[in-house]
Amino acid sequence: MNLIARFVKKLSILFGGERFASELDEEMSFHRAQVKEELIAGGMTPEAAHYAAMRQFGNASKLREQSHEVVAFRAETVVQDLRFALRQWTKNPGFASTAILILALGMGVSVAIFGFVDAALLQPLPYANPGRLMSVNESDITTPRWPLSYLDYLDWQRLNKSFSSLDVYGGTGYLLRTSSGAEPVQAERVSGGFFQTLGVQPMLGRDFYPGENRPGGANVVLLSYGAWLHRFGARRDVVGQSVDLDHESYTIIGVLPRTFTFAPSGSAEFWVPLNSFSTHEKLRTFYNFWGIGRLRDGVTVRAALAEMGAIAKQLHLQYGITGRNLSASVVPLDEVIVGEVRPILLTLLGGAGLLLLIACVNVASLVLVRSEGRRREIAVRGALGATPTRLVRQFVTEGLLLAGFGSLAGVLVAVGLMKLLARLVPKDMAANMPFLAGVALNAHTGAVTAAVALMTALLLAATPTLRLSFQKVRDGLSEGDGGAAGRLWQRLGANMVIVELAVAMVLLAGAGLLGQSFYRLLHVRLGFDPDHLATVQVMAPGTVYKSDEQTAGLHEEIVRRVSSLPGVESAGLTSMLPVQCNCQIDGIQIQGRPSHGEHNDVDERHISPAYLSALKARLVRGRLFSDADDASRPGVAVINQALARKFFPGEDPIGQRITDDEGGRPSVWEIVGVVDDVREGPLDVDIWPVEYFPINQTRDHYFSLAVRTRQDPGALLPLLVSTLHQLDPDLGVSDEETMNDQIDGTQAALLHRSSAWLVGGFAAVALVLGVVGLYGVIAYSVSRRTREIGVRMALGAQRRSVYSLVLRQAAWLTGTGLAIGLVSSVGASLLIRNLLFGVHAWDAATLGGVAVLLGLASMAASFLPARRAASVNPTDALRAE
Amino acid sequence: MVTDMAKKPDLLPGTLDMLILKTLTRAPLHGYGIALSIKHLSDDVLTVEEGSLYPALQRLLLQGWVKAEWKMTETNRRARFYKLTAAGRKQLGFEVSQFEQMISAIGRVMSDAQEA
């Protein structure tokens, strides 16, 4: 008979306990009656027969118990153990609640962080067969993913054999006409097969028809689910209606499903086929689109990369492309989507794991201390006949119960924490992290919770058992001598404390380094004054502002009106605000110098005359732009010092000429000024060379306004928006923010802030747990040695020597823990060096500071028991036995 | 009473299950019937105590070697009848062979002891 069937049978008996007992009773009373009849038949009086039968049968209830024991699980003893455990806890609620709290914290944090790791790194992207989707682009020596030009894309699509389909996408923005005026909206231009390549079908309406993505195709648009819900009231008849984007009518052909997200497009609401192109986009060297492709079955990434590389090279030769040393890049799409958060998530997971470790060790040592305090109880139970198994089972039961409650509380903590953390991610960033929606208690996180709970249960059950088995009952009964068991425990407990301190050290060092990185990041040189700056993005409809004069007029009018607002010192326009990204790149040459095909990428910004002075950027040489630098005059440029250093070392750049190869604008720019480096790119990236051109000599319809004010810049924002709308209700106005908020909201700041805060939080908890653990060990050791200390003092030991006796032990534990922790910290910090900014993994000041902090905290924790030891009254101590 | 019980030899340890299974090979019996049957077949030498019988029956039930059913006796009383299962029959064969090995081994030892 197999075990499972027996188990089921036992269970059925257990749950049908009543029936089992009554059947047994009936059976036995039948037996007794038969015996009685037999005896009467043998000539006994009925009364005598009754007693004889009873006698023969013995104690009926004992018999019943014996029968029951055969079938039962010893459920009663389990219940007894449980009841006893609970009684112990209610007698000492501090222990149980502390242990459960610590466990819940450790488990909750780990499971919550794992929830994010699972959603971001383990769960597949929500596309058909996502493993075969690749991000297919050009690549450059310094930039591994470089966008494609449209013409190259067409050739790549035509020539390749590795991909069953190849598509491109590129972000754009439109002015959506609504009943309350124009509103800028995010949109994405995609090639016709984009959704088929992803394997996504619209939930309403249809995908693009084949002809619609060719130049001159119809104006059609697919809505994102969010746009359908919020802008069109989730009406099913929306398909076939038209919508006004940039003063052109687009026909809505369908709605994308709710589950559809495409992280590189952020929260794009309108998806249009790529069927009209700007003059630039028709150039082979205008790199503006990102590619995705679906690998054919049996084609490896490496083979695809080799093929695309060859195609890229062939095209470069064929069209005589120089200037950039481009090749192809083929990378799995999920790598592109989650690549940035991967190191941070793994770091957080590591931190959470360490926190869990320290929590478990802490609770295990708490359990150990308690089992030590119960030596006499155990000894008495043993002496009264409890088998060792039974005694062990008591502790196992308590451990399991503790782990059970701890896990339950941990799940609650985890669920709460996942919700909280997901909400803390700012909305802009959340749009690029579609996996956030998948962060929840699901099969994966549930399984991990169960595994962690099981591990904890094993640890907590095993710890006291381990100790118990070494102990002789005899030792326990004579509580007086601190015996071998006490020493053994001390060693085990001490080792645990060393582990705790070492782990706390690692977490503190990590937090210290990340915190310092964050601090350095926030104090990185900006090259301008971000305080008292209000910013807003403006989009002018190209259909209204058609000519250069009209656009230039708009620029001037905006600056004029805003500058006259109360409290405003100055205002300027730029094609892109600082501290955003090193994008909008130009490839330049210096006039009069031979070109060797090297690629000179610089950030290109179009600014109004007052912009740089509004930022309070420092002019180093030459002049800034003036209103006179308009389209009628030769092109002029202001450069930053990085550009001057790179291209004009030891020369005066003023008067030199920059040329660039883009059509539609004067392509020669005379350098008239040099400014100190304004940080145009992200906080954590080195300053790039930057060229500034007058916005008057370009014709941007999409630009940002930066306003220097004497008051609180936040208070100015609504006024800015209303002023712009007064000027022209058709202007798209968005992202009104103070410059400081803008900087705080950048990805670099967010990532560094979140990792610093979270790891800092872990480290704070670890510090408390480690120090409390140390306190526990020292306090326990002092309590065990009260008599010894009493004897020493009776024999003339000074208080000072008692202090040193206790503190020496503490110092030894702390020192060992710190030493191990220090070595591990360097190792751990090297693992997270990619997250560090402006600080080395082995930064001595941080490591030293953290060690001093932990050392001081440890000494403070051990000072309390030392003082208690030193204030022992020898007479009391000697009488204590 | 005490002297009376002392006279009877104890069952060999571990043989009770075998005896019960054996008595059930002929027909299903209730607990009393099993005790009675063992007593008669052994010419009153072996007495199965109730204190051992019922726990043993529960054990056999749990192993699946016997099945229990409530039926009426000839005297029209409700009693629980135990019936041998196929697994029980197999187990009986196994226990009998074990027992025979044991007996013959003991026999060999004892006969050798007598000769010496």
CA angle A137, A138, A141 (to 5 degrees): 135
Please choose, from the candidates A522, A576, A854, the residue with its C-alpha nearest in 3D space to the C-alpha of residue A706: A576
A605 bridge partner residues: A692
pLDDT at A353 over 60: yes
CB contact under 8 A, A27 and B31: yes
pLDDT at A76: 63
Judge whether A292 and A199 are in contact, CB under 8 Å: no
A70 vs B32, B62, B80: nearest CB: B62
Query: Residue A487 pLDDT more than 70?
Result: no
By CB neighbour count within 10 A (0-12 exposed, 13-18 middle, 19+ buried), where does A796 fall?
Answer: exposed
Alpha-helical runs (H) found in A425-573? 427-430, 443-469, 473-477, 483-522, 548-563
All residues of chain B having their beta carbon less than 8 Å from the beta carbon of residue A66 are 51, 54-55
In chain B, what percentage of residues exceed pLDDT 70?
Answer: 85
Q: Among all chains, which residue has been given the structure tokens 């200037």?
A: A323
Confidence at A198, pLDDT banded by 50, 70, 90: very high
Name the burial class of residue A320, with classes exposed (0-12), middle (13-18) and buried (19+) by CB atoms within 10 angstroms of its CB: exposed
Write down the pLDDT at residue A564: 92
- pLDDT of A479 > 60? The answer is no
Which among B58, B63, B79 has the least Cβ separation from residue A30?
Answer: B79
Least reliable range by pLDDT among A97-106, A542-551, A843-852: A542-551
pLDDT at B62: 82
Residue B49: closest C-alpha in chain A: A57
CA-based torsion, A235, A237, A240, A241: positive or negative: negative
- Residue A481: pLDDT band (50, 70, 90) is very low
Q: Distance between CA atoms of A853 and A209, rounded to whole angstroms? A: 66
Which one has a higher pLDDT value, B68 or A872? B68
Q: Which of A1, A10, A71 sits opposite B87 (nearest CB)?
A: A1
Q: Residue A290: phi, psi to the nearest 5?
A: -110, 140
CB A272 within 8 A of CB A189: yes
Interface touch B64/A56, C-beta < 8 Å: no
Per-residue pLDDT at A190 exceeds 90: yes
Please check the confidence at residue B3 and state whether its pLDDT lies above 50. Answer: no
- Predicted pLDDT at B6: 41
Taking CB atoms and an 8 Å limit, are A30 and B78 in contact across chains?
yes
**CB < 8 Å to B87, chain A:** 1
Which contiguous run of DSSP H or E holds residue A177?
Answer: strand A163-178
What secondary structure letter does DSSP report for A370?
H
Going across the sheet that includes B66-72, the strands are B29-30, B78-84, B66-72
Contacts (Cβ under 8 Å, ≥6 apart) of A668? A591, A634, A635, A657, A658, A659
Q: Is A56 in CB contact (< 8 Å) with chain B?
A: yes
Strands A668-675 and A636-640, sheet pairing: parallel
For CA atoms A80, A82, A84, A87, the dihedral sign is negative
DSSP 8-state assignment for residue B14? T
DSSP E strands in B13-98: the ranges are 29-30, 66-72, 78-84
Which one is predicted more confidently, A568 or A584?
Answer: A568
Identify the pLDDT of residue A675: 95
Does the beta carbon of A278 lie under 8 angstroms from any beta carbon of chain B?
Answer: no
B60 touches chain A (CB under 8 A): no
pLDDT at A273 over 60: yes
DSSP code string of A623-655: ----TT-STTS--EEEEEHHHHHHH-TTS--TT
Q: State the Cα–Cα distance between residues A327 and A257, nearest whole angstrom.
A: 36
Residue A314 C-alpha from the chain's centroid: 42
User: Taking residues A76-92, what's their average pLDDT?
Assistant: 79
Q: Cα(A350)–Cα(A835) distance, rounded to whole angstroms?
A: 14
Token digits of residue A291: 């590619």
Q: What is the CA radius of gyration of chain A?
A: 38
Please, which residues have CB within 8 angstroms of residue A391's CB and are 6 or more apart in sequence?
A378, A381, A382, A468
Supply A471's token pair: 């102990």
**Number of Cβ within a 10 Å radius of residue A470:** 12
Three-class DSSP category at A52: helix
When CB atoms are compared, the residue of B30, B63, B64 closest to A30 is: B30
pLDDT beyond 90 at A852: yes
Q: Which residue of B has its CA nearest to A20?
A: B58
Angle between helices B50-63 and B16-23 (to 10 degrees): 70
pLDDT at A486 > cutoff 60:
no
For residue A55, the chain B residue with the least C-alpha distance is: B1
Please count the CA atoms within 13 angstroms of the CA of A780 that sit on its side-chain side: 25
Minimal CA–CA distance to A524: which of A750, A838, A845, A740? A838
Q: B97 CA to chain A: closest CA distance, Å? A: 20
Highest mean pLDDT range out of A88-92, A144-148, A180-184?
A: A144-148
The ipTM (two decimal places) reads 0.78
- Bigger pLDDT: B75 vs A135: A135
b or e along A19-41 (b: 16 or more beta carbons within 10 Å of the residue's beta carbon)? ebeeebeebbebbbbbbbeebbe
Q: Please provide the size of chain A in residues.
A: 881
pTM of the model: 0.72
What pLDDT band is residue A72 in, cutting at 50, 70 and 90? low
Question: At A181, which helix (H) or strand (E)?
Answer: strand A181-190
pLDDT at residue A9 is higher than 90:
no
Cβ–Cβ below 8 Å for A23 and B80 = yes
The 8-class DSSP code of residue A296 comes to P
Give Cβ neighbours of residue A868 (< 8 Å, ≥ 6 apart): A779, A782
Classified as helix, coil or strand, A602 is strand
pLDDT for residue A583: 79
A471 vs A343, more confident: A343
Label residue A6 by pLDDT band (50, 70, 90).
low
Residues of A in Cβ contact (< 8 Å) with B78: 26, 30
CA of B55 vs chain A CAs: smallest distance (Å)? 4
Residues in a beta bridge with A272: A189
Chain B residue numbers with beta carbons less than 8 Å from the beta carbon of A26 are 78, 80
Q: Indicate the residue of A6, A10, A28 with minimum beta-carbon distance to B54.
A: A28
Exposure of A247 by Cβ count < 10 A (0-12 exposed, 13-18 middle, 19+ buried)? middle
Closest Cα in chain B to A33: B32
User: Residue by residue, what is the 3-state secondary structure of A250-272?
Assistant: EEEEEECCCCCCCHHHCCCCEEE
Judged by a CB distance cut-off of 8 A, whether residue B87 touches chain A is yes
pLDDT score of A181 more than 90: no
Q: Which residues of chain B neighbour A69 with C-beta distances below 8 Å?
A: 55
Chain B: closest CA distance from residue A390 (Å)? 22
Identify the residue among A6, A8, A26, A31 best suited for mutation to test binding to B, counting B beta carbons within 10 A and taking the highest. Answer: A31
The shortest CB-CB distance from A31 to any of B50, B55, B64 is to B50
Q: Characterize the bridge pairing of strands A601-607 and B29-30.
A: unpaired
According to the model, what pLDDT value does residue A299 have? 92
Per the CB < 8 A criterion, the answer to whether A71 and B62 are in contact is: yes
Report which secondary-structure segment, H or E, holds A248: strand A248-255
Given a cut of 50, whether residue A1 has pLDDT beyond it is no
Distance (Å, whole) CA A143 – CA A265: 20
Per-residue pLDDT, averaged over A335-357, amounts to 86
- Mean pLDDT rounded to a whole number for chain A: 84
Cα distances from A649 to residues A15, A641, A644, A689, B61, in angstroms, run 90, 10, 7, 13, 98
Q: With contacts defined as CB-CB under 8 Å, which chain B residues touch A1?
A: 63-64, 87
For residue A731, how far is the Cα from the chain centroid? 37
Average pLDDT over residues A80-92: 81
Is the model's pLDDT at A158 over the cut of 80? yes
* Cβ of residue B58 closer than 8 Å to a chain A Cβ: yes
Of B30, B32, B94, B92, give the one whose Cα is nearest residue B65: B92
Token pair belonging to A176: 């959506």
Helix, strand, or coil (residue A129): coil
